[in-house]
Amino acid sequence: MPNGELFAVKKLWKTGKDEETVDFFASEIQIMGHIRHQNIVKLLGYCSNKSLKLLLYSYVPNCNLQQLLQNNRNLDSEIRYKIALGSAQGLAYLHRDCLTAILHRDVKCNNILLDSKYEAYLADFGLAKLTNSSNYQQAVSLVAGSYGYMAPSK
C-alpha cells in the first residue's frame, strides 16, 4: 500500500468445478470474518468477480513451519516450544473459545505461518467447518486435508 503496509493475497484457483471454488471462498470468509486471535492469521477483506476470487490477509513476514524445519534442523528448544505453544493456543481458541467451535481440518506445517519473532499463526481455513453448520455431519465423515496424512481412527 502507499503507506508501506503489506498484505498477503490468496488467490483461489478454479478447479473446473465452479461450486467448489465458491464453497472454499465462502467458507473461509464466513469463518475467518468472525474470529480474532493472536495466533490466527487475520482476514482483512476479500474481492470477487466472475473470474477471480481473492482473500486479503495480514502479512506474516517470515515463512511457514515446513520451510523453517527444512532449512534449519537445529532449532533451539525455546523456539520449538514457542511455535508449539502458539499453534496450540490457536487451536484451543478454535475448539473451546469460539462461540461455535471450528474444526480446521488441515493443520500441517505448511499452514502454520511464522513471523520474524517465531510467533505462530494458523492459516488456510478453506477446509474448516463450523460445528453447528448444516453440513457438519457430512463434512466430518469425508476425508479432507492433505495427501499423505490421515488421522488415526478409533
pLDDT digits (tens, 9 = 90+) for 84-113: 999 999 999 999 988 888 988 889 999 999
Q: What are phi and psi of 66, to 5 degrees?
A: -65, -45
pLDDT-derived band at 144, boundaries 50, 70, 90: low
Residue 107 grid cell:
493443520
Instruction: Tell me how far apart the alpha carbons of residues 154 and 143 are, in angstroms, rounded to a whole number.
Output: 15
Domains of the chain plus CATH, in order, are 7-141 (1.10.510.10)
Q: Check: CB of residue 145 under 8 Å from CB of residue 119.
A: no
pLDDT-derived band at 15, boundaries 50, 70, 90: low
Kind plus residue range of the DSSP H or E element containing 20? helix 18-32
Q: Is the dihedral of CA 96, 102, 105, 106 positive or negative?
A: negative
Residue 79 grid cell:
523456539
User: Which residues are tagged catalytic?
Assistant: 106
Q: How many residues does the chain have?
A: 154
pLDDT digits (tens, 9 = 90+) for 41-79: 999 999 988 888 999 999 999 899 999 988 877 889 999
